[in-house]
Amino acid sequence: MLAAEGDALVGLWMEGQKYFAGSLKGEFRERNDFPVLVRGREWLDRYFAGEKPHVSELKLDPAGSEFRKAVWKILCQIPYGEVTTYGEIAKKIAVARDKERMSSQAVGGAVGHNAISIIIPCHRVVGAGGSLTGYAGGIDKKIMLLAHEGAYSKRFFVPKKSTAP
């Protein structure tokens, strides 16, 4: 489901996703012809057809704290077909905030609450050592998206106790 407010996308959720439509406030209605939703669908069609559309092609306005928005901005910089870790993002946030360090768990919480999944590529974040954890859309979808991008590696593993469905 895609959601928009004005000329910006505010949400993209997969059926069954944790926090499905959780950031939507107030009343909403279905509008398949809304221009920003059409552009979002076209972006997704291109992505799943094997193209590499860039996040910057769409106006995004996810609701969240300044911390979460800072994490999501970093997610948007992860290149197609590449991955990073929660720890690496935590280091970048710490530098940007002039702190000695930042919690990887706090970053994981922000990544997990990304309301515009796939477009803001939270699936490109893995745990230290290749742990596939923390994907609100489900680990199976995370694996599928990483494989689609050619980023899936045999070094990745699903931990016995995962934070994602």
Residues with a catalytic annotation lie at 122
Report phi then psi at 5, rounded to 5.
-135, 120
Q: Which of 35, 60, 57 is nearest to 115 (CA)?
A: 60
Q: Tell me, letter by letter, the H, E, C secondary structure of the chain.
A: CEEEECCEEEEECCCCCCCCCCCCCCCCCCCCCCHHHHHHHHHHHHHHCCCCCCHHHCCECCCCCHHHHHHHHHHCCCCCCCCEEHHHHHHHHHHHCCCCCCCHHHHHHHHHCCCECCCCCHHHEECHHHECCCCCCCHHHHHHHHHHCCCCCCCCECCCCCCCC
Instruction: With beta carbons less than 8 A apart as the criterion, state whether 74 and 89 touch.
Output: yes
